[in-house]
Structure formats: C-alpha cells, structure tokens
Structure 1
C-alpha cells in the first residue's frame, strides 16, 4: 500500500521520524519506534522474540490448547509413544506430556516473573545507592555483593532451599536471593560514570534531594543495562529452577514443572525417550529464546555495543 493510499500511516511515520520532536512524549515515541526498527532488522533477535511470545501465548491460552491439565493419572495409557492422540506421548502415569508442557509454561513464567520483580529493584537500589553515596556505604554494600557473587548460583540456591524447605515459592525466593548481586554491580558501574555529570551537579546545586536525584536522573539511565542483563539472565533463572525441580526442591508433584518432569522421566530415557526429552527440549528452546531476545535488546538499548 502506497503512502497516498494510507495517509494516516504515512503521517504517523512522519511524526515518528520528525528531526525536531515537539514534546517529550513525541521524543519518547520516536526512540521506541527507532529501537523497534533496529530490533526488527535483527533476524536472530526476532526469532528469540517469537519464542518468548509463543511461551507467553501458550501460558495464557493453556485451557484452549490442551484437553486436560495433565495432573490426573491414566494408567491404561501409560508410556504411549507420540501419536495423533497424544502428540508428545504419555508419561509413566499415563498423563499427556503435551498437556503438561503447556501448563508447565505457566510455572516457568511464574518463576521468571517473580524473580524479575524481586531482583531488579533490589539490584538497582543497592547499586545506585552504593555508586552515588560512595565512601563506607559503597564499601559495605559491595562487600555484601561480593559475598553473594563468590558462590555458584545453583549451590547457593540449594543452600537457601534446604533452609527454607522445598516448594515453588521457596525456590523462587532462593533463586532471587542468588541472582540480585550482578544487577547491583551493573547499576553501580553505570552510576560511577554519570554521578559527576553536569546535570547531576546542576540538580545538586538547585537543592534537589538525594532521593529525587536517584529517582529522576540516575535510575532511568541504569534501566537499559539492567533490562538487558535481566533478559539474558532469564535463561539462567529457568535452568536454576529446572535444576531445583530436578532435585525435588522446587515445584512439587503433581505440578507440571519441566525440571521435575525430566527427573521423573530419566529412568525411561532409553526405551521411552520422549518422556524426559520433551521437557528437556522445552527448557532448551525457551532458554535459547531469552538469550537471543536479550542479545537483540542489548544491540538496541546499549548504543556502545555498536561502536566496536
């Protein structure tokens, strides 16, 4: 369709590409549009976006995409191979693996969403405060961060879950407690590069409070790096959650969690390979999708990535 045939679309594109935006809203809209154009030009990033969108849609429309919740045993149909009736076969209790994978996507998004809500604010708060305040505040906070960074994530998560007890909520809390520290490091590094900038000094000279400077000027500039790191870390969060589920410390049966599905199906790997392979492939595909999406977001949100 030509621009003459679609004057509204042409007008919107002209508004989004105007060299001199007339308002803050227009400038923000232009930045979002140009970022989307750059992101869309990256086929690998688009592949990651499609995988993540498919995961979200599967979780939302799970009741429409499945014939059951995959919880009730059906022993006469146990360990059936993939077929037209059971697309991915059945497990050792006769439950449809496809149904359990689709419903398990909700568990995966639940874990990823809760961990993200917890770790991003904590990491931002600790990192920005340490970088802006400096002195003994920076020293104390960064030594705490170093303690958390010194331990492998899964090992530390296992220690927290052992103390808190098995369960989905405790697994989420344990993963969050082991994941926030890199975000504090990133936020601190960003603050150290901007805390002596002219607009920060001007805000201080005008009597702006530390809280206002952090909220209005510092935190927004740290968000891009934190979002990129969070997207890239989602693969690690999924793998850690699957590891806890595999060991029986995460989501408890009969909840369809992908790591627990691999654990209960590993005894059938040689003869009924589809039982552990299907959830393993789902974990691999979703983790790959988040990695590709995060890589694309890094190219868009971090202008320095294209300078090399």
Structure 2
C-alpha cells in the first residue's frame, strides 16, 4: 500500500485512536464534501488569488499607482496600460492591484474586531439569560433596525474620513449579526447533558462559555463571517464612493468608481474596471461561504 493510500485509510478509520486522528479525519471528510461543489472551489480559488494579489501587489503592479502623467490621461486598455489610465494618467491595473490591499485589509480588520466580540457577547447573553440577555438583544435590535451603510455613514461622519475610521464604523454596524447567531447556538447547547455534567463537576460559567459553548458556535460563525465578507467589501466601497473611506490618492476601489463615474459613457474603463474587481471579490467570498455552509452547518442536508 502506498503512503497516500495508507494516509487516507488512517484518516477515514472508523475507530480513531486519538483526538488528533479524529480531528484530521473530520477535516479530510469535510474537504471531500467541499471539493465536490465546483462553485465553492471556484470561490476558494478567487479568494486565495485575491489574497495572493494583495500580498504580492508591489511585484505584480506594472506602474506606480500614484504616479500621474497627464499626457496619457484616459487612455483605453492597451499593451502598455492593460486596463487603461484614469483622468490623471495613472495606471488603473496597478491601482486595482494595490487597492486589493486596502480592501482586504479592511475586511480582515473588521472580521478580527467583530467576530470575537460578537461570539463572546452572544454566548454570554444566551448562557446567562435574564435581564442581561434582554438588554443585549434590544441593543442588537437597535443596530439592526438601520441599514448597514446608512449607520456606517453616520459613524464615519462623526469620526471623520479615513481607513481606520471606516473599519471602526463597519465593525460597529456588523457585530449584532454575529452576537445573534452565537446566542441562538448557545440557547440550543446550554441545556445539553454534557453542559449539565460539567456544571455538576464544578465548572464555572466562564469555563463553560469559553471551553464548551463557544467552540461549538464557531462553525456557524465561520460561515456567517465568510458570507459577510462580500457585504463588508460593498460597505467599504460605498464609503469610498461617497468620499468617506480611504483618503486620496489611495487606490481604493470605491473611490476609483466615484472619480470615474464622470467618464462612464465615453471612457467606460475608468469606472468599470474597479467595479469588476468589487464584483469578482464579492462573488468569490459568497461562493466560498455557500460551500462552507454546506460542509460546516449540521442543519444542512
């Protein structure tokens, strides 16, 4: 038997001999399920490609994204400038490549801020219950009563334009959804026998929440985070389009569309190319999220 066949047999063994073998075997089976969904694999490929572009942006860009040359302004796509130039003669391809860093940076920053906070707040509210649960849920109701972009605009208007303030504004509007998911999962888990057994053994509420409840909520949270990434991209682009996101001359995709809308009829590439970048990135994360939901959500058939 080859090493690959032996490894596969070890991963799919009916009786794992250790926790490590059981976890790796579960991940392998999930990957087998995931790869049969070709749309999900395409979403994963797009997401990884976008991450690689952002990491290697200085190497992939053919021009300085901020270099202006009015002699070549509004040139159509060609051999020298693959996606054309904008109204200041800047290379659109290079600006899109560097703009992927800003967009993905904002997405990662929002997820890092929001996901742990929403998980902790939702698990605590669902486990503790009572007045604490009611207060937390009413606060989430208030935040979710407003459209995300409108609420983010209000926060950015108060904080001022900029990438950091944009991240804070989007994070303030995104956390309620994660808290509600974590609370719903906690309500289904807290009455389980293993929670009662751990409580009888003297486990504190904090230990029950962080060691037993929160890990079981991660699957649903990961799916929600992946699906929500496209919404974060669109919100960040919306803030940039309205001049409240990245400050010029930063090559932010929404700001590029905003400056290019004046030329949309004649020099269509100025606004269309960053729009296509937003569309592809959002579609990739949505397809990836759908695939992860089929794999990680136990309620999916």
The TM-score range, normalised by the shorter chain, is: over 0.9
- Which deviations, in whole Å up to 9, do the C-alpha atoms of 1:82-139 show, x marking residues without a partner? 0011110000011110000110110111000000001101111111001000111111
Aligned-partner Cα distance in 1 for 2:274–2:169: 23
Find 1:207's aligned residue among 199, 202, 207.
Answer: 202
Distance 1:277 1:118 in 2: 31
- Matching of residue 223 in structure 1 with residue 218 in structure 2: yes
Q: In 2, are the aligned partners of 1:161 and 1:249 still within 8 Å (CA)?
A: yes
Map 1:8-19; keep pairs closer than 5 Å. Answer: 8-19=3-14
Report how many residues are paired: 301
Q: Does 1:127 align with 2:134?
A: no
Once the two structures are TM-superposed, the CA of residue 69 in structure 1 deviates from its matched residue by 3.3
In the other structure, the counterpart of 1:298 is 293
1:177 & 1:261 partners in 2: Cα distance? Answer: 25
SS in 2 for 1:29: helix
Aligned partners of 1:69 and 1:103 also within 8 Å: no
Distance (Å, rounded) in 1 between the aligned partners of 2:64 and 2:219 = 38
Inter-partner Cα distance in structure 2 for 1:87 and 1:279: 13
Question: Partner residue of 1:40?
Answer: 35
1:175 to 142, 163, 170: 170
Question: Which contiguous aligned blocks of 4+ residues in structure 1 show a shift greater than 6 angstroms?
Answer: none
Match of residue 261, structure 2, among 241, 263, 266: 266
Within the candidate set 40, 44, 49, 1:49 is matched to 44
Q: Which moved more, 1:61-70 or 1:194-203?
A: 61-70
1:229-270 Cα offsets, whole Å, 9 max, x none, are 111011110000000000000001111000000001100101
Any idea what SS the aligned residue of 2:63 has? coil
Q: Does 1:97 align with 2:68?
A: no
Any unmatched runs of 5+ in structure 2? Answer: none
User: Does the CA contact (< 8 Å) of 1:82 and 1:89 recur in 2?
Assistant: yes
RMSD of Structure 2 on Structure 1 (CA): 0.7
Matches within 5 A, 1:7-86: 7-86=2-81
Alignment pair present for 1:110 and 2:105: yes
Tell me the TM-score normalised to structure 1 length: 0.97
Partner of 1:197: 192
- Structure 1 residue runs of 5 or longer lacking an equivalent are none
1:147 aligns with: 142
Write the distance in 2 (CA, Å) between the matches of 1:87 and 1:163: 39
1:87 corresponds to: 82
